[in-house]
Amino acid sequence: MSDTKNFMFLNRRAPYGTIYAWESLEVVLIAAAFEQNVSLMFVDDGVYELTKGQDTTGIGMKNFSPTYRTLGDYEVRHMYVDKASLEARGLTADDLVQVEWEDWETEESVDNIVEVVDSDRVAELLEESDVVFSF
C-alpha cells in the first residue's frame, strides 16, 4: 500500500479503570509501523493517561504508561492535550510525561512533542485528520 493518511487517535478514557487506553496504544504502534502520519489527541479523562509516576504494583495490573514516552521513536510526531480538560482536572503540563522526538535522517529533534492546545485547535485538528480512531 502506498497510501498515507493522517490518523488521529482520540483518547478520552482514564487508564486502568478500563482497557481502552492500553489497547488503543497497541493500534498506535501498528499504525506507525504501517508508515501512516499518526497523531494522538487527549481529551476528557484521556489526559490522565499521560500522568507521570504511575505505579500499578498495588493493583496487580501491568503499568503500560512507559510506552507513551517511546512514541517518538515510533515516529509519532504529535501528541495534543486539550487545555480545558487538563485545567478542569487541576493538572498542568508539568504533571504529564515528556516525549522526545528525533528524525534520524535530518537529525532534527524536538524535546517534547506533548503540546497543550485550546478547544478551537482541538476541533480543527480533529477535522483536518483523514481518520479518527475512537476506543
Partner 1 sequence: MKFSIQVNEGPYQHQASDSAYQFTKAALEKGHECFRVFFYHDGVLNGTRLTTPPQDDRNIVKNWTDLAEEYDLDLVVCVAAAQRRGIVDDGEAERNGKDATNIAPRFRISGLGQLVEAAIQSDRLVVFGD
Partner 2 sequence: MSDLHTVNKSPFEKNSLESCLRLSKAGSAILLYEDGVYGALKGTAVENMIASVVADKKVYVLGPDYKARGLDESRIIDGVEVVDYAGFVDLVEANDKVQAWV
Residues contributing to the site for partner 1 (CB under 8 A): 1, 3, 5, 7, 16-20, 23, 26-27, 30-31, 33-34, 36, 59-62, 131, 133-135
Which strand (E) or helix (H) includes residue 48?
none
User: Do residues 79 and 115 make contact, with C-beta atoms less than 8 angstroms apart?
Assistant: yes
User: Do residues 18 and 46 make contact, with C-beta atoms less than 8 angstroms apart?
Assistant: no
Q: Shortest approach of partner 1 to residue 19 CB, angstroms? A: 5
Q: Choose the one of partner 1, partner 2, none that binds residue 107, judging by a C-beta under 5 to 8 angstroms depending on kind.
A: none
Assign 20 to helix, strand or coil. helix
User: Do residues 103 and 109 make contact, with C-beta atoms less than 8 angstroms apart?
Assistant: yes
Sign of CA pseudo-dihedral 96, 38, 77, 118: negative
| Interface with partner 2, residue 94, by CB under 8 A | no
Choose, by CB under 8 A, the member of 1, 3, 55, 108 that binds partner 2. Answer: 55
List interacting residues with partner 2 (CB under 8 A): 10, 12-18, 43-45, 48, 51-59, 61, 63, 65, 82, 84, 87-90, 119, 122-124, 126-127, 129-132, 134-135
